[in-house]
Chain A
Amino acid sequence: MTVMNMIQALNSALDVMLERDPDTLIFGEDAGYFGGVFRVTDGLQKKHGLKRCFDTPIAEGGIIATAIGMGAYGLRPIAEIQFVDYILPAFDQLVSEAARLRYRSGGEFHAPITVRAPYGGGIFGGQTHSQSPEAIFAHVTGLKTVIPSNPHDAKGLLIASIEDNDPVIFLEPKRLYNGPFDGRHGEKLKTWAGDPLAEVPEGYYTVPLGKASVVREGADVTILAYGTMVHVARAGIEDSGIDAELIDLRSIVPLDIETITASVAKTGRCVIVHEASRFGGFGGELSALVQERCFWALKSPIERVAGWDTPYPHAFEWDYFPGPGRIAAALARVMEN
């Protein structure tokens, strides 16, 4: 075990897979010699060679098309999109091609690609470096969407994603790269040092896709969260003093419906938290699923705590970003019933 931040853990996952599987290769804008703008691919070109980790033209559609073609050949490409905000030019490739190739070809071809992208807010990145578009991918039949919340999971989930034979969108909460962040933005920056989830095995291991983690057990209300919001929700629970059960979904497709329903059946209350704007967000799907499956166990209406339905703002970052206060308030509201 070594203490790693999320960048180091992701780098380790890529290093392990390059070592282990000659069919893996990494490419993206600035991902080669320089090692990526967030340093996730740092040193990999030097260690594994130019052909295993290289730079691409600034063309997200071309990056994903290339990855799909390589996947169809039999390789296991890992593409980096510099910020998930830049992924939209590749949307047709992801939706009409990667997600549909296995189905439409009757299983003759498939796209075992992993698309990594820094994601989410909290870094004063403004609209084009802060967004959380996971619901868009979750809606696309045939794509898997993974969002880790800590270094240990990040490494294990990334290895599982690379080994998965379906296309995986791997969203890396960039506010968690260097340390956990609970939404108390005025406080001193934390690092991952000392956090048990920063104890990362150096070698190969996986965290399976579709398996949620119960971060905190509780009796009175279930909180569903992923990515940075797992940490913010924990702070919200502390602030509220309510005995909440906190579930880190880890992947939203596949979704661990059993863990969700078992928890809500026990607690009878549910609060859903995400950074993405609320209307049409993944919280709507979670809310519908909980209502369909746990209605008779529910003691109060399901609450959603999410980004506002505005573009991601710059100066108003902390007005937009769902903080522990809003989560504590939602917990208090569901406890009124």
Chain B
Amino acid sequence: MPDPRLELYIPEPRHRPGDRPSFEHLALPVAGETRRPDVLEEESAMRDMPFGLVRVLDEAGQAVGPWAPDIAPDLLREGLRAMLLTRLFDDRLFRAHRQGKTSFYMKSLGEEAIGAAQAMALSAGDMCFPTYRVLSWLMARRYPLIDLVNQIFSNEKDPLKGRQLPILYSARDYGFYSLSGNLGSRFGHAVGWAMASAYRNDDKIALAYIGEGSTAEGNFHEGLTFAGVYHAPCILCITNNQWAISSFSGIAGGNETTFAAKAIGHGLPGLRVDGNDFLAIWAATRWAAERARANRGATLIELFTYRAAGHSTSDDPTKYRPSDEAEAWPLGDPIDRLKQHLIAIGEWDEERHAALAEGLDNEVRAAVKEAEAVGTLGKSKPSVREMFEDVFETPDWRLIEQRRELGI
């Protein structure tokens, strides 16, 4: 007789600090293995896709299989530039935080391919609804570095007027919706925005990001419901970087099925994509965009990646996961992989790479210097008048009185 007593199950990650990290249990498909359905394929014929893994770059850096895109080397170099710039910018601004120049910072380390590839795969009029780890979108769209640093320093020239925590950018003209520290709460905005585009018979589509941890939020499920019901022209992306601060993906349900498979219950196509493979992300995003623009509605894409750095400047990941776990990640580093590919096809070399890195680092250094001249956090700030603006379109008597009470 089996023991009749019930037992509460609490999932745990395979490795904790001190353990030897291994990801062998993932049994990931190799590059080229997962099929590419026709863009107009019926959803009901694609329910295997959430359990595959769209990969293009193989171990040797060659683009292989049905998803290998026809993409010009110039575009690949542009992507490499955006990713490298993101990493160099992150390094320098992370250090600026350590030096007391700002209050907070978050890196995209290991996830740089996502924003860069998707910014380049979509059109200028499209809108992404970002998480805080897609800085590479702004880099690919060539958002001015100086504006980023001024925002991070909350100084007089901060484009967000001193109101937002560092890195919670907003850049409408660059297709980058206003970030918030509340997780997942903009996921449904992307769906509404996409519905509005369809309502007006425009051709713009939305791209939403949510972390795998936040897929547990109601926002995620409501967003999928509305996207499914109204065939909203959008791409709904889960960046599964395995960790939500200290909670592994199993705490968000990742042990039970894939995150991409959450699409099935909503009647949406779900793709699982190698999130460290620039070409795979670009190709999958193009596929979903083409489908959305053809009035076939939304696609859910799980971008399978790894958060190689801590959650933020307030986090020490060695407290909850092996310190060498990032090195064991089987999908490698996104910058190294794109670089390897460009070299493999004869479009890049180590010298050019070193020169690019040096040039970009100089750009970052110059932007930081310029922003420092305006002032770091606490040394310079926008007019305090800005505290009372934009609460409403026109301030009401309370705000006017309170501003006067403060003497301005």
Contact = CB atoms under 8 A, between A and B. Distances in A.
Nearest to B164: A104
A319 interface: no
Interface string A61-104: 11001111111111101000000000001001100110011111
Given A65-B185, A66-B195, A103 B225 contact: no
Contacts of B390: 102-103, 106-107
B393 A108 contact: no
B218 A61 contact: yes
Contacts of B178: 101, 104-105, 108-109
Given A69-B191, A104-B160, A62 B170 contact: no
B396 A68 contact: no
A109 B172 CA distance: 8
B192 A65 contact: yes
Given A59-B222, A65-B219, A96 B180 contact: yes
Nearest to B399: A141
Nearest to B202: A73
Contact of A65 (B170, B188, B389): B188
A142 B195 contact: no
Contacts of A67: 192
B161 A165 contact: no
Contact of B196 (A57, A65, A70, A166): A70
A47 interface: no
A89 to B, nearest CB: 7
Nearest to A99: B391
Interface residues of B, number: 43
Contact of B182 (A92, A144, A210): A92
Contacts of B170: 104-106, 108-109
A25 interface: yes
Contacts of A96: 180, 182, 185
Given A61-B218, A73-B196, A108-B170, A97 B180 contact: yes
B199 A61 contact: no
Contact of A165 (B192, B219, B393, B397): B393
B199 A65 contact: no
Contact of B222 (A62, A68, A71): A62
Contacts of B193: 69-70, 72-73
A69 B192 contact: yes
B186 interface: yes
**Most chain B CB within a 10 A radius of its CB, from A61, A72, A165:** A72
Interface string B35-60: 00000000000000000000000000
Contacts of A253: 396
B185 A69 contact: no
B377 to A, nearest CB: 17
A62 B224 CA distance: 9
5 smallest CB-CB distances across A and B, nearest first, come from A69-B192, A65-B188, A62-B222, A73-B196, A69-B189
11 contacts: A57-B225, A61-B218, A65-B189, A66-B188, A69-B189, A69-B190, A106-B160, A166-B392, A166-B393, A210-B396, A253-B396
Interface of B: 159-161, 163-164, 168, 170-172, 177-178, 180, 182, 185-197, 199-200, 206, 218-219, 222-223, 225-226, 229, 389-393, 396-397
Interface of A: 25, 51, 56-57, 59, 61-62, 65-75, 77, 89, 92-93, 96-97, 100-110, 141-142, 144, 164-166, 210, 253-255, 257
Given A68-B189, A69-B193, 11 more contacts: A70-B192, A70-B193, A70-B196, A89-B218, A100-B180, A102-B390, A104-B170, A105-B178, A141-B391, A165-B393, A166-B393
